[in-house]
């Protein structure tokens, strides 16, 4: 009886392993045809002249993380992102891609000491951004979003990038 139970458990384990290994990611939600739509993205973290050195440094850190995370999130929606540094790079016949401008409106890095010692949302980090999606010099839509977390600040970027990529997909 013991051997029979052991055989059933091992067969079930093998079946679970094989079925999970065979699972595919499937096509991108944005396009089953495999053709990806290009999208130019401009991230404006603010001017170094308007911010203190510490504020500007923290916003640059956010930007660096967003530059790494956003292409992956947009790719899941069937969009191919090209990061640009100036709106003029989006003009001309060679680039017919829509332009997404992301502006950091307000960032509070929070306090890691307060998060660790007090908890319950104390010392939470928060970020508010505004976005403008346009094509051919015309604005398609402008919207704002923001979130906060009492966990690591990178979760803010993950959440906002996820919301942003889904919204852009519905607008294009």
pLDDT in tens, 96-153: 788 888 988 888 877 766 656 666 666 778 888 899 998 877 888 899 999 888 777 8
User: Hey, what CATH topology would domain 36-171 get?
Assistant: Rossmann fold (3.40.50)
Q: Decide if pLDDT at 166 tops 50.
A: yes
Domains of the chain, residue spans: 36-171
From residue 149, alpha-carbon distances to 27, 57, 125, 152, 155 in Å are 31, 20, 6, 7, 7
pLDDT band at residue 46 under the 50/70/90 scheme: confident
- Residue range 47-72: average pLDDT? 84
Q: Tell me the pLDDT tens digit for each residue of 17-26.
A: 555 544 444 4
Q: What is the model's pLDDT at position 44?
A: 84
Contact 90, 75 (CB under 8 A): no
Quote the pLDDT of residue 48.
67
Q: How many helices (H) and strands (E) does the chain have?
A: 4, 5
The set of long-range contacts for 140-145, using a CB threshold of 8 Å and a minimum separation of 24, is 140/98, 140/171, 141/171, 143/167, 144/105
pTM over 0.85: no
DSSP-derived pairing of the beta strands 79-84 and 37-44: parallel
């Amino acid at each position: 009886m013991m051997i029979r139970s052991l055989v059933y458990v091992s067969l079930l384990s093998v079946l679970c392993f094989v079925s999970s290994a065979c699972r595919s990611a499937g096509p991108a939600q944005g396009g089953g045809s495999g053709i990806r739509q290009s999208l130019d993205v401009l991230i404006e973290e603010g001017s170094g002249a308007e911010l203190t050195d510490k504020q500007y440094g923290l916003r640059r850190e956010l930007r660096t993380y967003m530059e790494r995370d956003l292409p992956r999130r947009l790719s899941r929606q069937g969009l191919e992102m090209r990061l640009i540094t100036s709106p003029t790079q989006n003009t001309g016949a060679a680039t017919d891609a829509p332009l997404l401008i992301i502006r950091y409106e307000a960032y509070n890095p929070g306090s890691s000491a307060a998060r660790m010692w007090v908890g319950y949302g104390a010392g939470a980090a928060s970020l508010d951004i505004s976005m403008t999606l346009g094509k051919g010099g015309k604005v398609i839509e402008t919207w704002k979003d923001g979130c906060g977390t009492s966990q690591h600040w990178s979760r803010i970027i993950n959440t906002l990038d996820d919301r942003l990529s889904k919204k852009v997909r519905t607008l294009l």
